[in-house]
Amino acid sequence: MALLLGLQVHIGEQVESLSDLPQSHFQMVVDASGSSQSTNSLSCSLGFKYQSLSTKGVTLGVVAQFEKPRGTSMNDFNLAAHFKRGVFEDLKKQGLELENIVYFCGETHYFVMTPSIQCLKQNGVLRSESDCCDQLALQERVDPAAFEDFCRDVGDFFNLEQSCAFLPQNSGVFDFSLRRRSSEALKISVPSGKLDDPVLVCLCGDALIEPFWPEGLGINRGFLSALDCAWIAIKFDTRCGLFGEKVEELKAVSRCSFEELKRVSAFTSTAILHNTEKKGAYTADPMTRYRRIGHLS
Ligand X SMILES: Cc1cc2nc3c(=O)[nH]c(=O)nc-3n(C[C@H](O)[C@H](O)[C@H](O)COP(=O)(O)OP(=O)(O)OC[C@H]3O[C@@H](n4cnc5c(N)ncnc54)[C@H](O)[C@@H]3O)c2cc1C
What residues are paired with 78 via a beta bridge?
A: 102
The answer to whether 167 touches 65, Cβ cutoff 8 Å, is yes
Q: Which is nearer to ligand X, 99 or 242 (CB)?
A: 99
State the binding string over 85-104 for ligand X (x if CB under 6 A, else -). Answer: -----------------x--
CA–CA gap between residue 150 and residue 163 (Å, rounded): 16
Options 117, 153, 158, 218; binder of ligand X; rule CB under 6 A: 218
Options 46, 98, 112, 203; binder of ligand X; rule CB under 6 A: 112
Q: Which is nearer to ligand X, 64 or 126 (CB)?
A: 64
- Is residue 34 near ligand X by the rule CB under 6 A? yes
- Is residue 42 near ligand X by the rule CB under 6 A? yes
Q: How far is the CB of 228 from ligand X (least distance, A)?
A: 13
- Which span (28-36, 92-100, 143-151, 271-279) binds ligand X, by CB under 6 A? 28-36
State the binding string over 54-83 for ligand X (x if CB under 6 A, else -). Answer: ---------x--------------------
Q: Which is nearer to ligand X, 62 or 242 (CB)?
A: 62
Tallying the residues shown for the chain, one arrives at 297
The answer to whether 195 touches 22, Cβ cutoff 8 Å, is no
- Is residue 105 near ligand X by the rule CB under 6 A? no
Options 19, 27, 38, 238; binder of ligand X; rule CB under 6 A: 38
CA–CA gap between residue 48 and residue 80 (Å, rounded): 33
Of the candidates 35, 77, 81, the residue with the CA atom closest to the CA atom of residue 222? 35
Options 32, 98, 101, 242; binder of ligand X; rule CB under 6 A: 32
- Is residue 139 near ligand X by the rule CB under 6 A? no
Site for ligand X in 219-278 (CB under 6 A): 219, 222
- Which span (114-122, 192-200, 217-225, 279-287) binds ligand X, by CB under 6 A? 217-225
List residues binding ligand X (CB under 6 A).
13-16, 32-35, 38-40, 42, 63, 102, 112, 174, 205-207, 211, 218-219, 222
